[in-house]
């Protein structure tokens, strides 16, 4: 089957749906190819039976930097309730099995201010280096590893020793952090799905011949070949780095080098049914963690009863997450329960059910959570700013230079921008 359309979009995540809608608004015909059986990509609200059907965002769960995040306005226009989370969480941190005192939490807050000051100064002064190197002078501060866990292994899904301090600085997520009633994935499916038009599910792009005669791009799938005048590829850098799509001719050296500079980090989640808020005397929305001595130490950061839902979500990232991804979901689920018991005390063991675990690191459609820039590689995010041969563009969370890299807001803006460049 050969079909001719104005534009073909590869991937029906946030970037792909935004690109497809932009093509259609410009009066172009567009088909979107999606490898999996659903739209939304890494924005996916699930309702697993193990969590009693309560909404669980396996991927994105907040609208970060909401003042600059186009999805916040789209949600409001659709009448979807948003609630501010910044400053609303009760923080509980354990040190050697006991709750940190007010004075210790105060020291934690001061350590964080110093961290920000030192890392920002180093990012501004250059040359680029790793986040770990940038804050090396703070070694000895008992809170340093804990702050690195938050700023690097959780927010960027990256090991601080392999993460560009300039990329960290550019993509700091200041401002409102909004929770979405019903979940971020549900918002994306409801608001971005319809304007995107035709999406062919379970139809992976296998091969893209992007210099065909007549200015055409040919995209081969198991269901046939699509011919288009323009193509936007929105798959994760992990998929591109693994050769998940073959390009003919191969991508130019500059673009391949950019991919090397933007590997996928991993953030994993384990959602544990937790129906007993009262028993522990902790408020819904409490954040619970234990102070670590090394950012590579496997330790989970929990968000308890988020938005009043009857579960706790444990997060961990980077090296520890990759290690558990290899070990499998049963090992991760067991670790999540062990961590909760460690954080809440031995009598907590019977209070939690089986954990529901995410698998972004091993799913071939993603191969990670989101891309981070290695030290010296921040410029790689701009490597796809010009369409190849005037017809092949790349979009997605990795290719953002506007300070929203790694987020649904950044993915949306990059998808719209790619389509605009190709429409001319």
Ligand X SMILES: Cc1cc2nc3c(=O)[nH]c(=O)nc-3n(C[C@H](O)[C@H](O)[C@H](O)COP(=O)(O)OP(=O)(O)OC[C@H]3O[C@@H](n4cnc5c(N)ncnc54)[C@H](O)[C@@H]3O)c2cc1C
| Site for ligand X, rule CB under 6 A | 10-16, 33-36, 41-43, 59-62, 64, 204-205, 234-236, 239, 244-245, 267, 269, 358, 360, 365-366, 369-370, 396-397, 406-409, 411
Cβ 104 to ligand X shortest distance, Å: 28
Tokens of residue 18, six digits: 């935004």
Query: Toward ligand X, which CB reaches closer, 119 or 173?
Result: 173
Kindly state the smallest distance separating residue 147's Cβ from ligand X, in Å: 19
Least separation in angstroms between CB 82 and ligand X: 13
Among the listed residues 365, 415, 361, the one whose alpha carbon sits nearest the alpha carbon of residue 36: 365
Closer residue to ligand X (CB): 10 or 377: 10
Beta carbon nearer to ligand X, 135 or 155 = 155
> Whose Cβ is closer to ligand X: residue 122's or residue 416's?
416
Task: Provide, rounded to whole angstroms, the least separation between the CB of residue 76 and ligand X.
Answer: 16
Q: Which is nearer to ligand X, 147 or 178 (CB)?
A: 178
Q: How far is the CB of 150 from ligand X (least distance, A)?
A: 14
Judged by CB, which is closer to ligand X: 32, or 130?
32
State in angstroms the smallest separation of the CB of 421 from ligand X: 16
CB of 15 to ligand X, least distance (A): 3
Which of 86-118 are b and which e, b meaning 16 or more Cβ less than 10 Å from the residue's Cβ? eeebeebbeeeeeebeeebeeebeebbebbeeb
Q: How far is the CB of 184 from ligand X (least distance, A)?
A: 7
144/405 with CB nearer ligand X: 405
């Amino acid at each position: 089957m050969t079909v001719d359309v104005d534009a073909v979009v590869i991937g029906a995540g946030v970037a792909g749906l935004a690109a497809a809608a932009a093509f259609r608004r410009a009066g172009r015909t567009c088909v979107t190819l999606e490898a999996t059986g659903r739209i939304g990509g890494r924005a996916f609200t699930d309702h697993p039976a193990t969590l009693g059907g309560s909404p669980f965002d396996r991927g994105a769960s907040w609208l970060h930097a909401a003042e600059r995040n186009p999805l916040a306005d789209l949600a409001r226009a659709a009448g979807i309730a948003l609630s501010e989370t910044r400053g609303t969480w009760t923080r509980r941190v354990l040190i050697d099995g006991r709750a940190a005192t007010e004075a210790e939490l105060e020291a934690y807050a001061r350590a964080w201010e110093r961290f920000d000051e030192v890392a920002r100064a180093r990012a501004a002064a250059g040359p680029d280096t790793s986040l770990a190197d940038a804050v090396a002078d703070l070694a000895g501060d008992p809170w340093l590893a804990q702050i690195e866990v938050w700023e690097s292994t959780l927010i960027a899904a990256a090991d601080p020793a392999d993460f560009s301090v300039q990329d960290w600085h550019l993509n700091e997520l200041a401002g409102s952090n909004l929770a979405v009633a019903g979940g971020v994935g549900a918002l994306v499916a409801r608001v971005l799905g319809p304007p995107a038009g035709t999406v062919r599910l379970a139809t992976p792009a296998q091969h893209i011949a992007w210099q065909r005669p007549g200015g055409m791009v040919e995209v081969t799938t198991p269901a046939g070949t699509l011919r288009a005048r323009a193509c936007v590829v929105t798959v994760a850098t992990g998929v591109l780095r693994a050769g998940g799509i073959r390009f003919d001719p191969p991508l130019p050296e500059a673009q391949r080098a950019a991919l090397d500079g933007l590997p996928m980090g991993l953030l994993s989640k384990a959602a544990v049914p937790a129906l007993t808020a009262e028993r522990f005397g902790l408020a819904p929305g409490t954040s619970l963690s234990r102070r670590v001595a090394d950012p590579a130490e496997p330790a989970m950061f929990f968000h308890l009863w988020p938005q009043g839902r009857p579960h706790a979500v444990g997060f961990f990232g980077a090296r520890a997450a990759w290690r558990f991804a290899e070990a499998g979901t049963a090992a991760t689920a067991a670790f999540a329960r062990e961590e909760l018991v460690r954080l809440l005390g031995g009598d907590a063991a019977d209070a939690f059910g089986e954990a529901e675990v995410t698998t972004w690191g091993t799913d071939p459609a993603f191969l990670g959570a989101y891309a981070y820039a290695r030290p010296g590689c921040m410029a790689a995010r701009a490597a796809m700013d010009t369409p190849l041969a005037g017809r092949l563009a790349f979009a997605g969370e990795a290719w953002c230079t506007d300070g929203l890299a790694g987020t649904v807001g950044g993915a949306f803006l990059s998808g719209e921008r790619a389509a605009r460049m190709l429409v001319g």
